[in-house]
Structure 1
Amino acid sequence: MKSLKKRRRIQIILVAFVALALATGLIGYAMRDGINFFRSPSQVMAEPPSPSEVFRIGGLVEEGSLKKDGQGTIEFLVTDGGASVPVRFTGVLPDLFGENQGMVATGKYVNGVFQATEILAKHDENYMPKEVIDALKEQGVYEDPNQS
């Protein structure tokens, strides 16, 4: 009688452990497409990612680099002060997107060009994405607009 209860407890613990492991695996599998790591242009140039890796890149749109064609494709350079990465995007840009403005793009780095699928721009004169500020601070080129 005593060994039957002990065996039942062990079975319940094993089933719970397997269920927990399965749930953790399913959550990880479901989230794999939703996780996009941020890289600065300097990091991309130092260690180019594989062409299949989706990630976010951010920095400032380099002055004089913005080129638009008639088919809706935009090409520009994004910089963090240490390196510049060419970006190509087809679609509609945010209204506040422009040269010397902060931006973050999601996409893939293929054949030396970042192929963006989404571009986000700052939304007021003081806002810049946290990742971009951190990358610019690392390079020593970030100036806080709130300091006099």
Structure 2
Amino acid sequence: MKPRHKKLVIIASAVTALGVASVLVLNAFQSNLVFFFSPSQVVAKEAPIGKSFRIGGLVTEGSVQREEGSTTVRFSVTDTVETIPVMYTGILPDLFREGKGIVAQGKISANGIFQADEVLAKHDENYMPPEAAEALEQAAKAQKASLIQ
């Protein structure tokens, strides 16, 4: 084999290896990507069915129901326009309260209940997750616009 052909084989092998590595990295990145949706977006069917995503907003007052003898909790999350029922099995964060901001990660089931795998709560009096704060702000703007019309 001539030196010129050896160089071409090495270059082709390097390009192929780089392509395979790029495909594997992008595939891993896409499978771990989790999007955020507000309750209004979930009701509008913008959220993916059967895929994990995050939902955020305020825990609706009076909606928290704990199952007897279990760690399963049912509650509702609202962005002040729409409300989504959530079911979570596990230990809730200490700062989880009605009327406070949360972000939950999980999937929406066929019956419209969000099955949460993880629930995150705010960490002090002045903090709300940025996604949840933005969703609440947009919902308030939409509500004002509908009242004006």
> Which category of TM-score, normalised to the shorter sequence, fits these structures?
0.7 to 0.9
Percentage of pairs with the same residue: 49
Q: Is the 8 A contact 2:51 2:107 kept in 1?
A: yes
Unmatched runs of 5 consecutive residues or more in structure 2: 142-149
Q: Equivalent residue for 1:78?
A: 77
Q: Do structure 1's residue 19 and structure 2's residue 14 form an aligned pair? A: no
Query: How large is the Cα RMSD of the aligned pairs?
Result: 1.8
DSSP 3-state at the match of 1:18: helix
1:20 corresponds to which letter in structure 2?
L
CA distance in structure 2 between the partners assigned to 1:80 and 1:129 by the alignment:
13
Q: Equivalent residue for 1:7?
A: 5
CA distance in structure 2 between the partners assigned to 1:104 and 1:120 by the alignment:
5
CA distance in structure 2 between the partners assigned to 1:64 and 1:9 by the alignment:
72
Q: Normalising by structure 1, report the TM-score.
A: 0.84
Unmatched runs of 5 consecutive residues or more in structure 1: 142-148
Q: Do structure 1's residue 59 and structure 2's residue 51 form an aligned pair? A: no
Q: Deviations over 1:110-132 (max 9, x none)?
A: 02000001100000001111111
Q: Do structure 1's residue 123 and structure 2's residue 131 form an aligned pair? A: no
The structure whose residues are more often helix, as a share, is 2
- Shift, 1:93, TM fit: 0.5
CA distance in structure 1 between the partners assigned to 2:25 and 2:136 by the alignment:
34
2:25 corresponds to which letter in structure 1?
I
